[in-house]
Structures are given as C-alpha cells and as structure tokens.
C-alpha cells in the first residue's frame, strides 16, 4: 500500500511485480518508493543498499533482513 500510494496510474502490484517491466518504475519513482518506506517503517535507507532490487519481493526481503514483517503478512 505504501508503494501503491506513490505510484498512481499503475497496474496491480504483487510480490512478483517487476519494478521496471511491470510497474514502469523509473529512477525518481524508485526514490519515491524508498522515501515512502522510510516514512512507513521509520528507517533510513541508503539508496545504494536498494540498488539491486528488481521485484517487489526483493524489497520485502531487504526489509525482512532488517527485522520487519516477522511472523506477519506483509501489506505493501
């Protein structure tokens, strides 16, 4: 939902959605997603740490690695 809020006019987002191919995310969109996640999870994200994400699931994995979503269903 956080991600949806900064991507207007886009198709449905699933864990498998590719940022580039499915969601047409460009570099500024990506910055916007990262900002929204920073706000949502009250964290600071260095852009470089997220340079290699390709799908929404990759983002979830990165957040999991920081201890988020343990034992919960993720609502991105």
Q: Rule CB under 8 A: which residues touch another protein?
A: 6, 8, 24, 26, 28-29, 31-32, 35, 39
- Can you tell me the distance from the alpha carbon of 35 to that of 47, in angstroms, rounded to the nearest whole number? 10
In the chain, which ranges are continuous DSSP H helix?
A: 2-6, 27-41, 56-65
Q: Which is nearer to another protein, 45 or 60 (CB)?
A: 45
* Residue with smaller CB distance to another protein, 13 or 31: 31
Question: 29, exposed or middle or buried, with CB in 10 Å at 0-12, 13-18, 19+?
Answer: middle
Beta carbon nearer to another protein, 34 or 76: 34
Smallest distance from another protein to CB 71, Å: 27
């Amino acid at each position: 939902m956080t991600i949806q809020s900064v991507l207007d006019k886009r198709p449905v987002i699933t864990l498998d959605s590719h940022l580039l191919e499915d969601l047409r995310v460009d570099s500024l969109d990506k910055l916007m997603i990262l900002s929204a996640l920073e706000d949502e999870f009250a964290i600071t994200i260095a852009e470089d740490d997220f340079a290699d994400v390709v799908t929404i699931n990759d983002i979830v994995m990165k957040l999991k690695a920081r201890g988020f979503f343990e034992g919960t269903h993720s609502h991105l």
